Structure 1
Amino acid sequence: MKRKWFQASACCVLLFALAGCGKTVEEQIDTGVASAQTVFEETPQHPNQTIGKIKLYVPSGFAVEETEDLNNLILKKGNESYLLFVNYYEMEDSNLHYKLLKNNPSSKIIKEQTVEFDGAFGFTAVTEYDEEQFELIVSSGGVKMSTISEDQNIDEKLVDMMTIVRSVDIVKENN
């Protein structure tokens, strides 16, 4: 009896492990890049936090850490850190971050996708960081977000990142 219970338990564990494997890294990247483009073209989420001059939507599970640099915020979700950079002087149609990526000879771009929609320019890119990690980058105009990630949930991370980036609004000072 114990042996049959053990075999049944082992089968359940094996099935659960195989089901968790899901998509390959390539599939996650392809899905994530395509989904991020869709998010870019949708109506941005309404900001739910204001940090300094930056209004942004922070999805559930994320926490924002202010930094001394007014152009950078660190967002955390679990043990993952995301760097949000806001260039106040770049317009929505700016492709500065994309040009910097493309002109960096050390960038090992695995996949990239640019998008122009309603006067705004953006892109999603995945680069090889090292043998086991990837740098995920999304940008909209002068706003860019990046993180270093292993091969898990890349598609979901890119969607969350683009959702955040597209929501960023700069608080205008009243004179």
Structure 2
Amino acid sequence: MKRKWFLAATASVLLVTLTGCGKTVEEQIDTGVASAQTVFEENPQQSNKTIGKIELYVPTGFNVEESEDLNNLIITKGKESYILFVNYYEKEDSNLHYELLKNDSSKKIIKEETVEFDGAFGFSAVREYDKEQFELIVSSGGVKMSTISEDKNIDQKLVDMMTIVRSVKIAEEKE
């Protein structure tokens, strides 16, 4: 009986260990960029937060830090920090952020994907930041979000970022 218990416990530990290995960084990047494109093409989430003139959807577990600069918002989830940049003057079809990315040769682009849907332009990209970190960037029109990330959960981070970026609306001034 003890031997069966030992074999069952060993099998359970082995199963948990193998499951925990997860995806490689390359797989996470490929999945994340493709999933971000899918999110871009879906209906944006309804906003649940308003900061100044910016209305946006903030997923559960994320927090928006108020700041005096309403063009740049800091969004956090645990120890992760994201910068949300809103250019009020760029339209939905703007590719300004993409052109800036392509013209910056200071860091290697590992993967990028552009998408045009329903009159809007967007992209997701992963750049090498240093040996163990990556810069994740998503954009829709004049809205861009970026973060520096370790090699964990890159795919989910890109999806969350695109979900936030696609939800951003500029509130109309009431007269």
So what's the TM-score if we normalise by structure 1? 0.93
The residue matched to 2:127 in structure 1 has which SS?
strand
Q: Matches of 1:4 and 1:69 in 2, distance apart?
A: 63
The verdict on how the C-alpha distance between 1:68 and 1:117 changes in structure 2, with shifts beyond 3 A counting, is same
Aligned identity (percent) is 79
Q: Matches of 2:69 and 2:166 in 1, distance apart?
A: 21
Question: Which residue is 2:173 aligned to?
Answer: 173
Question: Which residue is 1:107 aligned to?
Answer: 107
Corresponding residue pairs, total: 175
Asked if residue 63 in structure 1 is aligned to residue 63 in structure 2, the reply is yes
Superimposed CA distance per residue, residues 106-161 of structure 1 (whole angstroms, 9 cap, x where no aligned partner): 02100000000111000000000100010100000000000111111111110000
The residue matched to 2:174 in structure 1 has which SS?
coil
Report if aligned partners of 1:112, 1:123 keep a CA contact under 8 Å in 2: yes
Superimposed CA distance per residue, residues 73-116 of structure 1 (whole angstroms, 9 cap, x where no aligned partner): 11111111111000001000000000000000102100000000
In the TM superposition, what is the alpha-carbon distance from 1:14 to its structure 2 partner? 3.7
In the TM superposition, what is the alpha-carbon distance from 1:3 to its structure 2 partner? 8.9
The residue matched to 2:85 in structure 1 has which SS?
strand
Question: Which residue is 1:131 aligned to?
Answer: 131
Question: Which residue is 1:26 aligned to?
Answer: 26
Question: Which residue is 1:79 aligned to?
Answer: 79
So what's the TM-score if we normalise by structure 2? 0.93
Name structure 1 gaps, 5 residues minimum: none
Name structure 2 gaps, 5 residues minimum: none
Q: Matches of 2:62 and 2:17 in 1, distance apart?
A: 27
Question: Which residue is 1:35 aligned to?
Answer: 35
Q: Which runs of 4+ in 1 moved over 4 A?
A: 1-11
Report if aligned partners of 1:33, 1:158 keep a CA contact under 8 Å in 2: yes
Report if aligned partners of 1:101, 1:107 keep a CA contact under 8 Å in 2: no
Q: Matches of 1:161 and 1:149 in 2, distance apart?
A: 12
In the TM superposition, what is the alpha-carbon distance from 1:174 to its structure 2 partner? 2.3
In the TM superposition, what is the alpha-carbon distance from 1:53 to its structure 2 partner? 0.8
Asked if residue 144 in structure 1 is aligned to residue 138 in structure 2, the reply is no
Task: Return 137-146 or 59-68, whichever deviates more.
Answer: 59-68
Task: Return 11-20 or 131-140, whichever deviates more.
Answer: 11-20
Q: Matches of 1:61 and 1:134 in 2, distance apart?
A: 22
